[in-house]
Amino acid sequence: MTSAVEVTAQRLRDRGERVTPARLAVVEVLAGTEEHLSAEQIGERAEQLRPGIHRATVYRALDALGEFGLVTHVHLGRAGTTYHLAGDLAPRHLHLRCSECGTVYDAPGDILEAARRKVQRELGFQLAPEQVALIGVCKECLA
């Protein structure tokens, strides 16, 4: 089985892009967690993996990997922006954020598929719910 880091390195090479320690560290951090990490948290963990990598370099790596379609981000409202591996590097999922306690939950990526198709068919608009958090109240706060 090929790791996300190996796949990323090959895709960068195929595009003629540089394979840098910061880019690989970012992918390694994201591949190694299911947490919703901010750019700052990714920077901290990348520095631990590869001492000497500066956070500004990690932020540039996040931007570049986003442009290449290898990393994506989601806006979680008060919880800030978090980053994830994109495309076939990670399972597609949606984010649900409780407006009461702030907890962020992952939901299956296809859970809104019927709504996505209906909006496309009736309005000619293609939804991208992976880019935002859906806001509501979790079952613990409802109790």
pLDDT value of position 9 = 93
pLDDT value of position 92 = 81
98 is in an annotated binding site: yes
47 is in an annotated binding site: no
**pLDDT (tens digit per residue) in 85-102:** 988 888 788 889 899 998
Provide the CA 13 distance to its chain's centre, in angstroms: 22
- Number of residues written out for the chain: 143
pLDDT higher at 104 or 17: 17
Exposed, middle or buried by CB within 10 Å (0-12, 13-18, 19+), for 18? Answer: exposed
The pLDDT confidence band at residue 109, using thresholds 50, 70 and 90, is confident
Report the alpha-carbon distance of residue 129 to residue 120 in Å, rounded. Answer: 13
138 is in an annotated binding site: yes
CB 22 within 8 A of CB 53: yes
pLDDT at residue 1 greater than cutoff 60: no
Domains of the chain in start order, with CATH, are 4-89 (1.10.10.10), 93-141 (3.30.1490.190)
